[in-house]
Structure 1
Amino acid sequence: MEESEQVKIEEKIERLWSWGAGTDGQLGTGRLQDEQIPQQLSLSLPSVSSLACGGAHVIALTSDGKVLSWGRGNSGQLGHGEVVNNLLYPKAITSLDNYFITHVSAGWGHSGFVSDSGCLFTCGDGSFGQLGHGDYASHSSPIKVSSFVDQNVAQVACGMRHSLVLLKGCLSNQVYGFGSGKRGQLGVSKDKIKSINLPKVISGFEDEEIVGISANGDHSAALSVDGHLYTWGRGFKGYEDSHLPQCLNSTSKFTKVTLGWNHALAMTGEGKVYMLGGNHLGVLSDLHNARPAKSLFDSREANLEKAPGLDGTKITDIATGAEHSVLVTENGEIKTWGWGEHGQLGLGDDGDRISPVTVNLGYDLNEAASIRVYCGSGFTFALTKP
């Protein structure tokens, strides 16, 4: 094969980079160490369509409906039928080979998988009921959640110790929660709930069609087809916890929301990005002079800040870790900010940043390349496709 032909082939394949916390093997580099600059992975992976990053493990979903996982496996969250401290390289979850998986999610120590037939499988830490099997047992292989055997599951979202489920094609009883509920993150009752181990429907969406769900830390969120953003659970900076979904009072129509432990990013269809909450490790600007805190049940638009320093640049993707954030511009730049102790900002040091800074992948991307970003608690992945 001529060199020019080899270059053309290489340009057409997807590429995967990782950086940040890596002491559990979650970066897929084969090394148990943090990385402060992006590492391009030389892995023989099938075509990867998306990733899910958890506390310290990663799940890869391929275009042909297969799943692989790596990283920390101390609670069985990798789904390989055994408990392992760490797995350095991607390994196929063979127990799901008879299913075409369409959606995956990774929590702190548990994982969720949705098939094209609408089945939900969970594995990992179940000590708070977050696996939804009616007990508090942990499992090292994906187990079908029987509560949805006659339902059609579309998405699963795994948080720190809780899970959300979105059903397909129904306007009532469409979102469910289970697991830890001490901060209201289950959204199933006004009363405080320690935990529940079976899925329970979340009220408040009777007049909305929900198309997306998100969970991280003790937070939960949902997006409607009309672009309305709902949040519940632990209150963002200056706001009380909410035990039921609350709609953000904003005229913007949101298309994606991602949650950290103390903040959230929300992106509009026009490519604008806003931030909720945050603290000194994740803020976009000085919140010490922000307006006085209000009750969660007052207008929360005052707590919604537009991401600065982007000069009107359109944003095409967003992701949030525990206390760091990542976005992709329409020009193909990856920008990060927030907590940087493990190198998760990819800037060559362990410092924090309060505004977005461009990451150098060390590789010139094709202008037409599609870039998606994903965050675990203290690490980051970038997936590029031609």
Structure 2
Amino acid sequence: MEANERVEDEEEKQELWSWGAGTDGQLGTGKLQDEHVPQLLPVLPSLSLLSCGGAHVIALTHGKKVLTWGRGTSGQLGHGDLVNSLEPKSVEVLNNFNITHASAGWNHSGFVSECGYLFTCGDGSFGQLGHGDYVSQSYPVKVSHLASRHVCEIACGMRHSLALLKGEHGDQVYGFGSGKRGQLGISKEKVKSVSLPQSVSGLQEVDVSSISANGDHSAALSSDAHLYTWGRGFGGTPDVCCPNRVISRYSFKQAALGWNHALLLTDEGDILMLGGSHHGVLSNPQKEISVNQDLDQGQVKEIPGLDRIKVAGIASGSEHSVITTGKHFGWHNGRALRVG
């Protein structure tokens, strides 16, 4: 699952390119094949957000409508069937709503409407759809448990989901789905799974500005630029069942989670890393990181080769990372490479 990538300038001419694994149609090229170089997709409506899941993609248009494509065998595309889509296709059941946020998980999807409703579809076998059961859905279904609240953001991990709610009584984060690594944050003890949204402990007094989920990890950023993480421990450290604030001298404005790592972007445009060195995703395979230490002592590190580069945006897949600077960089075999 990649972090959502927003397109800031509606007026600028857009092109959409894709590459990599394509055997489930997730590249949107109309072909069931991998592509080793970027492929230009046919003309699409102007897009405001992209979210890449296990093998499917969600796109939001500037008109607040939804397109999906790729693997659909669990119903995660929201088209009412269990088949793959080789090209972007409208999610017609949501056409009567203005969709402002979306997230693609491993095999499930979440959509947030302008009026604050949350819709989910796809694999529900771990309760990650939030409908009070463990049933999969091929159409987006409103999460009735949150229908009286205003949801503003959804984050889908591998088998769990987070929802950010805004209201007169403050912000709240809810978790549902698999909790075996503590990624739900709803209890001091690990829970196997829950199928109805439950409030994440320890964030009730925090003004949460955004949430993130990937693999068995969860994270939240506060409006005063603090980072909170919970779930699977990074770098072989113990799992954490309740949100823990990352103690640092930096102010964070974005977090991007992978399966074994996280990228952190500061207000000053510096990029930091948290987690292990599996597959070189952090461009620093030699250093071990302890999440029990303060940042200055080794909890998170600057990435070698990027210390003089100001970063504009970050994204993480399961085992890879990308940053935007005005130029684009990615990581492979532990080294930072320019990829665009």
Q: TM-score normalised to the size of structure 1?
A: 0.82
Instruction: After TM superposition, give the deviation of residue 227 of structure 1 in Å.
Output: 0.5
* Partner SS state of residue 315, structure 1: coil
TM-superposition CA deviations, 1:245-281 (whole Å, max 9, x none):
0000111111111100000011011111111113230
Moved more, 115-124 or 312-321: 312-321
Instruction: After TM superposition, give the deviation of residue 76 of structure 1 in Å.
Output: 0.1
TM-superposition CA deviations, 1:212-259 (whole Å, max 9, x none):
000000000000001100100000003110000000011111111110
Counterpart residue number, 2:29: 29
Counterpart residue number, 1:333: 327
Do the aligned partners of residues 300 and 311 (structure 1) sit closer, same or farther apart at CA in structure 2, a change above 3 Å counting? Answer: closer
d(CA) in 2 for partners of 1:169, 1:272: 32
d(CA) in 2 for partners of 1:38, 1:247: 38
Counterpart residue number, 2:60: 61
Note if 1:313 corresponds to 2:329. Answer: no
Partner of residue 333 from structure 2, selected from 332, 349, 353: 353
Instruction: After TM superposition, give the deviation of residue 38 of structure 1 in Å.
Output: 1.6
* Partner SS state of residue 95, structure 1: helix
Q: State how 1:3-14 maps to structure 2 within 5 Å.
A: 12-14=12-14
TM-superposition CA deviations, 1:74-128 (whole Å, max 9, x none):
00000001110x2110000000011000000000000000000000000000000
Do the aligned partners of residues 318 and 218 (structure 1) sit closer, same or farther apart at CA in structure 2, a change above 3 Å counting? Answer: same
Structure 2 regions of 5+ residues with no counterpart? 1-10
TM-superposition CA deviations, 1:139-175 (whole Å, max 9, x none):
0000000011110000000000000000124564610
Instruction: After TM superposition, give the deviation of residue 303 of structure 1 in Å.
Output: 2.5
Counterpart residue number, 1:275: 273
Moved more, 180-189 or 302-311: 302-311
How much identity, in percent, do the aligned residues show? Answer: 58
Look up the equivalent residue of 1:38 and give its one-letter code: P
d(CA) in 2 for partners of 1:19, 1:191: 41
Q: Is the 8 A contact 1:164 1:215 kept in 2?
A: yes
Do the aligned partners of residues 265 and 317 (structure 1) sit closer, same or farther apart at CA in structure 2, a change above 3 Å counting? Answer: same
Q: TM-score normalised to the size of structure 2?
A: 0.93
* Partner SS state of residue 258, structure 1: strand
Q: Return structure 1 stretches of 4+ with deviation > 4 angstroms.
A: 170-173
Partner of residue 103 from structure 2, selected from 102, 105, 110: 105
Counterpart residue number, 2:318: 322
Identify the structure with bigger relative contact order (alpha carbons < 8 Å, sequence gap 6+).
Answer: 1
Counterpart residue number, 2:3: none
TM-superposition CA deviations, 1:34-67 (whole Å, max 9, x none):
22222221x2311111101100000000011100
Instruction: After TM superposition, give the deviation of residue 207 of structure 1 in Å.
Output: 2.8
* Partner SS state of residue 71, structure 2: strand
Q: Is the 8 A contact 1:157 1:215 kept in 2?
A: yes
Moved more, 95-104 or 267-276: 267-276
Moved more, 75-84 or 277-286: 277-286
Q: State how 1:43-192 maps to structure 2 within 5 Å.
A: 43-84=42-83, 86-170=84-168, 172=170, 174-192=172-190
TM-superposition CA deviations, 1:326-376 (whole Å, max 9, x none):
0011xx211101xxxxxxxxxxxxxx421220114xxxxxxxxxxxxxxxx
Q: Is the 8 A contact 2:277 2:283 kept in 1?
A: no
Counterpart residue number, 1:230: 228
Q: Is the 8 A contact 1:173 1:202 kept in 2?
A: no
d(CA) in 1 for partners of 2:282, 2:265: 16
d(CA) in 2 for partners of 1:182, 1:195: 7
Look up the equivalent residue of 1:165 and give its one-letter code: A
Look up the equivalent residue of 1:37 and give its one-letter code: V
Do the aligned partners of residues 354 and 298 (structure 1) sit closer, same or farther apart at CA in structure 2, a change above 3 Å counting? Answer: closer
d(CA) in 2 for partners of 1:182, 1:12: 44
Q: Is the 8 A contact 1:172 1:205 kept in 2?
A: no
d(CA) in 2 for partners of 1:259, 1:101: 23
Could you say which structure has the larger radius of gyration?
1
Look up the equivalent residue of 1:202 and give its one-letter code: V
Moved more, 51-60 or 297-306: 297-306
Look up the equivalent residue of 2:329 and give its one-letter code: K
Look up the equivalent residue of 1:66 and give its one-letter code: K
Counterpart residue number, 1:19: 19
Look up the equivalent residue of 1:36 and give its one-letter code: H
Q: Is the 8 A contact 1:185 1:233 kept in 2?
A: yes
Do the aligned partners of residues 59 and 167 (structure 1) sit closer, same or farther apart at CA in structure 2, a change above 3 Å counting? Answer: same
Q: Is the 8 A contact 2:171 2:206 kept in 1?
A: no
Instruction: After TM superposition, give the deviation of residue 199 of structure 1 in Å.
Output: 0.2
Note if 1:252 corresponds to 2:254. Answer: no
